A and B are shown apart, each in its own frame.
Chain A
Amino acid sequence: MLKRLFSKKKAVPFAGLLPPGQVLSAPHERFPYSYDASNWRGEPSCVLIPRDSAELAACVRACRREGRRFIARGAGTNLSGATVAPDGEVVISLTRLNRVLELDPLRRRALVECGVVNLDLQKAASAHGLFFAPDPASQKASTLGGNLAVNSGGPRCLKYGITTHHVMAVEIIRPDGSLAWLGDPLGEAAGPDLRGLLVGSEGTLGIISRAWVKLLPLPKAARTALFSFPGVAEAVRAVSEIIARGIVPSTLELMDAFILKAVEQFHHAGYPQDAAAVLLAEVEGEEEDLGEMMGEVLEAARRHGCLSFQAAEDGESRARLWEGRRGAHAAVACLRPSVWVEDGTVPRNRLAEALERLQEIGRKEAIQVGYLFHAGDGNFHPLMLFDDRIPEEREKVRRAGGEMLKACVDLGGTITGEHGVGIDKLPYMEYLHDPVTLAVMGEVKAVLDPENLCNPGKLIPPAFLSGAAGLAPSGRPRPQEAREWVPGGLAEAADMIRRARLEGLSVRPGGGGSKAAAPDTGVRLSSRAMNAVLDFDPANLTLSAGAGLGVAEAEALAESRGLELGFAACFPGTATLGGALSCSDSGPWRESRGRLGDSLLGLEAVLPDGRIVSIGRKVVKNVAGLDLGRLWVGSRGGLGLVASLILKLYPKPPAEDLLVAACPDHAQAAAGLEALRSGGLEPAAYCLLSPALAERLGEELGLRPAGSGGMLVLADFRGRLGRSGALRRRAVGALTAGGMEPGFELQGENRRQVWDWLRQYGAGPEGGLLRLWGPAGALREWTNLARDHSLPLACHLGGHEAWLHYPSLDSLGPWLDSAARLGARFSRLKGEGPLRPWWPAGEAGVMARQIKDHFDPGGFFPELPSF
């Protein structure tokens, strides 16, 4: 005993931290954690295997205490070296945090631990007729934590979007071991969208321990077909045309001749051998729609020289068509000892051009390359064959990869669409980002992880990590006479912001002034002169515009080409794009179309210190670095002026239909929604108007269904229903069965008028507009309160959200009490005056504060909302 006490045995690291078997420090135990699916290697000094959030937090605290840097590792399937430990960092392996903690089929949400394998969540969800949209090809193995941390894509992104669109809230363990919930399980937390910043941060800002994710109803039917083309260029043009026709297939996967040959050699999927390219297309939706949609796809393919086509007649032939695509990587992998997969993205209408340049690079380096495209997204993977045991071959492939990605950037694309930066893409970050933007990424990292403990040396080039030097303290703004400055462009805006700081003037960025009055001191910095349409690219489904462009103008422009924005902000007549972004004003279709931030592809902003940040491109998949744009979503001018935006556009659905029904109370409305959903009729928006609001709507638009006088339900359908009498009758039947009295079926202009009216309602200087989100019980209570107090309230049952128009802050008391009691939350869309949230800002607040203090020391710009 004594002997053991005094023996000079080296202290075991992390002794006693976790139960035996969960701390691996022997060389043979650490070795298997020295690699991922990339060609990078690096052995950790220790591996920690927590089994729940509490153990995970303890691990992080222990690392910090011992000054050890650490790396979160899921399944280790990333292709960028993101989980290898080049400097003997500690690896925290998360595979045992693998429980689906809650699955709520009614609200369509799941609470998962980060180590749950993507496919396991799919299985759990499908038991309730639901699915989780992100489906990376690695879904059988990769974990949700990994999917979130890389912001993964998958074949179905074209229709459903990337991972971040389906993440509502994340719980993170911060580098100091504290715990923060970011985002909101049901709605959108106020303030900068820190949830969105964490998604895609590759474990550099903290470890995601749990997450609330969104689930969608499983599509009822799908149809699959394979088209062959004489060349890749033709196939790419067909893809553009398909999208231009307003069809959004769930998948448009393209393979070149090289891959075709390999596939046929190993899988015998029956792919045509004479073609130079094949396109695998799948459409999903209502059985009745599919024939027509596939018809359009075929028509588009024919117009671009399609040689032949095969449609899957049944499950088996569909599986066979997919087998070729799924096995493509495998087949190519059988040709040489190693394959390296690059991951470029370009604007989708420039794919053909990109391919030409890449092929040239491949030829120059004499490398065999096959091309696999997520064509609908402009994302593609050159599969380069080599032997990773031969250094010259490794070098060659690496060189070619770098050149290919540079070519993508030159074409307006990015260096990684879905695989992430890790170590592998670090050298290319400077192709894409300017030094200021990279420095800002580095500063955000340094602010949130000052000791650089979390996955150091990944994602952000080390040269830009010099620390959070920040601004020299420049005092505080002094109260001064109010004035308005209207910069005409980005450089001028930056000048003005610098000048204001020198003169000690506070600055309040503003757009159309629809939601906030002019300040009574300092500068109102208006973006209204920065209202140019910078680039409208209907074929690529993108719009770049100055932040001062009006929402209504942007909508009209999109509509002129059969497109629409991904959000429907309030007060479209006066609101600007920048203003809508700063309030994260997603509109009535949030649950079905996504949050406003989900259609933000990029932006330019002037920081409170006058530096200009420029992030994002005209591509829908881009995971090159921190998703900085999210900082401005919902931050209400607190982090500087948004100068321009790049937005994703969507094809307008072929038909739209609005049913207006009189509804006695909330219970009936909820029952009606259930009845619609269980009948397979999914409304895009479903909104219950309180009597006060219903009354006004009736008066102003003359819409007063029989039996009204109470409330009104607006059930909005986008897609097939508008053209099918039978479906419409079913929907009316469902509402009637729910105890409502359907009164109107509105299409086209008439439908539009109703929504425009609702969005414009409450414009004007008086009063305010509050968004509240909470569980069904909360919505019911708020609706009843609105009836009793005769206040206008629009309750979006499908989106778990209510909009309350209030005359004065005093009148809000009952709602705030109720929200506090029911654990619901709110954010303010319009209005002035102090409004304190009832919930503690917690660590999320601390994080927002840290970012704010770093970029705006002295507080020249407005406070962030709710902190």
Chain B
Amino acid sequence: MNALAELTRYYDEVSRCSRCGFCQPTCPTYKLEDGEADVARGRNALVRGVIEGRAVLDADSIRTVDECLRCGACVTACFAGVRTDRIMAAARAFYAEQKGRSRLAGFLMAGLLPRRRLLSALMKVLAWSKRTGLSRLARLAGWAGAWGRGLARAEGLVKEVPTSFFSDRLKPGTVLPALGEKKFTVGYFVGCRTEFLYPRIGLDTVEVLRRFGAEVRLFADPASCCGLPPYSYGYSQATRDLVRRNAEAIVREPCQWVVTEIGSCYHFLKEYGQLYGDDPEFGETARRAADKVVYLADFLAQAGPPRGLRAAYPRRITFQDSCQLVHLQKSARAPRELLKGLEGVDFREMEEASWCCGGAGAYTVSHPGQSEPILERKLGNLRATGADEVVVACQSCYLQISHGVRSRGMKVKVKHLAEVMEEATRPAAP
């Protein structure tokens, strides 16, 4: 199918935008400069213009599309619920198709992401270079151009990298028994950020699931990526390959649900049905997979703590929504209920908690100029809560807010929901 025809599949969706402007007040990129090119209305108008031949997507105008966080805040604000997030992904794919792609990025998306072992080996090298200080040296030496700068920022964002990855600790295919009475069987989906950056959070997730009475199964041959990055950046084929592989694995796994603790992965797994439900080859599988996926907080809230499990957390905390969870999956309640239900907790709601922190996957690396002021606004709201800890629901926020807190010398601790739940339900030492 040619690229324009592919984009034109979104003609109906984009035409539902009535240009009412109601997305303006909630769009984090709009609020930077109040510019019409930086809000869903402007973005949709551009795409519609492209489809109707009144506008072009070129090296200049793609900025409008690229600077979208795909956070979905506009979808929540929108009368008609226009899915600007999907339209932007389609526009990126259209542009990439037209202009050809960067070889390096192409290799990363199509060659690397699906190959966990290869990716793993490469990540080890990067991790080692970070620990030894080699990477800083490389940065000082002005190693490489634009990509180099991106990598340098990426490298700067991460404070430390783990010595071993998640699958080094818990091998693929492992089945972990429930602690106490077994009530559920769940599969656990390991996202790339859990695998390579935050294995601790993954281990906590598994532990909490087990304490809540679940037998936890790890996929035998995981892909280590849900497909969101290649989708966001317009790599349609790579996306489709990953989706298909994951969907099949999810459906195959003998369990009631597949749980993930990463807000953005969860959202994308849920999108499988919408995006690929019509696929002649695996549409049915994509839909079934999507139905089977549950977010950690929803699962825990539904399951409820087993009798005798004490959950206490006597701290002053606040919660940062995962954009995709709150705006695109409309799940704002469960995480708050869980947290507020903890004994001794002092929960402070944060202003604009549902606003993106500027992390947005690779956005923080590719668009530091936008990402930093968005983060600044977030940190201001965070300070105003007076909380000692901010709880997040997605590793992307974890990375971004940790970087923000660290670089501004703030005392606030960043915790993932899974970490908080693990600590809160940890049995007293005998």
Q: Which residues of A are in contact with B by a Cβ distance under 8 Å?
A: 21, 26-29, 31-38, 49, 75-77, 93, 95-96, 98, 115, 117, 119, 138, 140-142, 327, 329-330, 333-334, 337-339, 387-389
Contact = CB atoms under 8 A, between A and B. Distances in A.
Contacts, number: 91
Nearest to A117: B25
Contacts of B36: 32-33, 76, 93
Contact of B42 (A32, A334, A388): A32
17 contacts: A28-B46, A28-B64, A31-B49, A31-B55, A32-B35, A32-B36, A37-B18, A75-B24, A76-B36, A93-B34, A93-B36, A96-B33, A140-B22, A140-B25, A141-B20, A141-B21, A389-B15
A324 to B, nearest CB: 13
Contacts of B45: 31-32, 34-35
Given A28-B58, A333-B16, A334-B80, 10 more contacts: A28-B60, A31-B37, A32-B64, A35-B19, A96-B34, A140-B24, A141-B25, A339-B18, A387-B15, A388-B15
B39 to A, nearest CB: 8
B12 A337 contact: yes
B60 to A, nearest CB: 4
B129 interface: no
Contacts of B33: 21, 96
Contacts of B78: 330
Interface string B5-34: 000000110011011111011000000011
A36 B25 CA distance: 16
Nearest to A139: B25
Contacts of B60: 26-28
Contacts of B163: none
Contacts of B21: 37, 75-77, 138, 141-142
Contact of A77 (B15, B20, B35, B81): B20
Which 5 pairs from chain A and chain B are nearest by CB? A330-B79, A95-B34, A28-B61, A32-B42, A32-B36
A232 B20 CA distance: 28
Nearest to B11: A389
A333 B42 contact: no
Interface residues of B, number: 32
Contacts of A93: 34, 36
A32 B46 contact: yes
A329 B18 CA distance: 11
B80 A333 contact: yes
A738 B372 CA distance: 54
A329 to B, nearest CB: 6
Given A76-B36, A77-B20, A140-B22, A330 B46 contact: no
Contacts of A389: 11, 15
Contacts of A33: 36
Contacts of B22: 138, 140-141
A37 B15 contact: no
A337 B55 contact: no
Given A76-B36, A96-B34, A37 B19 contact: yes
Given A32-B46, A37-B21, A138-B21, A327 B79 contact: yes
A327 B35 CA distance: 27
A119 B26 CA distance: 12
Given A37-B18, A333-B80, A338-B18, A29 B34 contact: no
Contacts of A21: 33
A35 B42 CA distance: 9
Interface in B85-118: none
B15 A338 contact: yes
B37 to A, nearest CB: 5
Contacts of A26: 60
A91 B33 CA distance: 16
A727 B16 CA distance: 54
B297 to A, nearest CB: 23
Contacts of B81: 330, 334
A31 B55 CA distance: 8
A37 B79 CA distance: 13
Nearest to B34: A95
A129 B64 CA distance: 40
A77 B24 CA distance: 10
Nearest to B78: A330
Nearest to B52: A389
